[in-house]
Structure 1
Amino acid sequence: MKILTLLGSGRPTGNTATALQWAEEELRIMGHEVEQINLVSKNIKPCLGCANCKESETSINCIQRDDAEEILQKMIDADITVFASPTYFWGYAAPVKALMDRSWSLVTNYKKPNHASLLEGKRQGVLLTGGSEFNNNAEGLTFAFNKLQVFYKTTNCGELFIERCTIDNKRPADAKERAMTFAKNLVA
């Protein structure tokens, strides 16, 4: 399978990046093609809400010219997309949220009988890290992720939250094992 991972952490060797790397290694060992995009290094402007993208059901059709269109096309081309983000103030890191906002261009006629998505039938997963427990930390992000799956007409193939991560890269002893299991579940 062709798997695209979207890293939203500003720390290239931090907890989120490390957990994602473990998952990617496991996927490669299983024979899958994995491409990572570090969203922090990309120019992704915020959605303008202009709705120009709603004029086409067959193309991205965003009026902005930045790196988002190329990334969105890679999501369309991939079998599985994984969003990876630290939890910041009960939300996704800014680069992940900006791309999610711009993905509005992938869907037309939401909640109507002719609801169409350029991602329909694809699989998606989310990998999150945070400093405290799931409750009052990441539950809102997974709730939003599940809503996004309905919008995209995709299948949620995995969620992982690694709790008690610290700024000095301390995390639970079983974090690597959980990341590897997450990877296996993505392609199961």
Structure 2
Amino acid sequence: MKILLLNGSPRINGNTGTALNQIIKGIQFNVQEAQIELFNVADLELRGCTNCDSCRKNDGNCVMTDDSFKIVQKIVDADMIILGTPVYYWGISSQLKTVIDKLYSKENQLRQQKKKFGVIAIGEASLDDLEYKLIGSQFECICNYFGWSLIFNKSICAFEAGDLTEDKIQLQELESLSVYINRENGF
């Protein structure tokens, strides 16, 4: 099983990175035969989709000279995608949104794949805040559209870099998300 984790935070070693690394720790311990790859989206050079539709005439490849092909191909090749994002004004980071928009280039191929999907949203607001529901609903819609399975949608309250490293309960919950991954694989 190929598992791709995307860190959508420009603060690579912040709370989102901590959360994703904790999930990786759980996967390494609990999931048999997993190939794990973590990408920091902020390290990629990405330009927004201009809806030129050139990808529709170019075998599903974006014609922009950026890292779009590289990251979209990683998503195509993965069996499971786990996204981590800080909450920015009731939504995901612009870096991660650009990656999501670029999926348009391989939409037909992606709709034929039965992927597993997980989302981690980390914000300053309390967990009952609407921002987490908005992000979760967005990814429920995306998964429904592609025909993918949303296996977890986890919200975390943490703001300052390092806040999450001090929250042992949240860290344990993140590590235990590997149970959902095992369940989806029949283990």
TM bracket, shorter-chain basis: 0.7 to 0.9
Alignment of 1:17-96 (within 5 A): 17-30=17-30, 31=32, 32-55=34-57, 59-96=59-96
The alpha-carbon distance between structure 1 residues 53 and 150, as it changes in their structure 2 partners (threshold 3 A), is farther
> Counterpart of 1:166?
159
Return the TM-score normalized by structure 2: 0.87
**Counterpart residue type for residue 150 of structure 1:** N
TM-score under structure 1 normalisation?
0.87
CA distance in 2 between counterparts of 1:119 and 1:25 reads 30
Alignment-derived partner of residue 126 in structure 2: 133
Q: Is the 8 A contact 1:106 1:119 kept in 2?
A: no
CA contact (8 A) 1:119 1:154 kept: no
Count of residue pairs the alignment pairs up: 178
Residue number in structure 1 paired with 2:5 = 5
Cα 1:33/1:173, change in 2 over 3 Å:
same
CA displacement at 1:143 relative to structure 2: 0.6
Q: Secondary structure at the match of 2:176?
A: helix
Offset from partner CA, 1:25-62 (integer Å, 9 cap, x none):
11112232110010001011100111222347xx4222
Which one-letter code corresponds to 1:160 in the other structure? K
Contact 1:126/1:159 (CA < 8 Å) preserved in 2? yes
Cα distance in structure 1, aligned partners of 2:4 and 2:20: 11
The secondary structure found in structure 2 opposite 1:162 is: strand
Judge conservation of contact 1:107–1:151 (CA < 8 Å) in 2: no
Q: 1:168 to 1:2 in 2, by over 3 A?
A: closer
- In structure 2, stretches of 5+ residues that fail to align are none
- Any idea what SS the aligned residue of 2:151 has? strand
Note the alpha carbon deviations across 1:81-120, whole angstroms, 9 max, x for none. 1111011110111110010011111214xxxxxxx63562
Deviation at 1:178, TM superposition (A): 1.3
Letter in 1 for 2:29: I
Structure 1: gaps spanning 5 or more residues: 109-115
Select which of 139, 144, 148 maps to 1:150: 144
1:96-151 deviation digits (Å, cap 9, x = unpaired): 0010011111214xxxxxxx635621111111111112322211111111111122
Structure 1 runs of 4+ with >4 Å offset: none
- Identify which of structures 1 and 2 has the higher relative contact order when contacts are C-alpha pairs closer than 8 Å and 6+ apart: 2
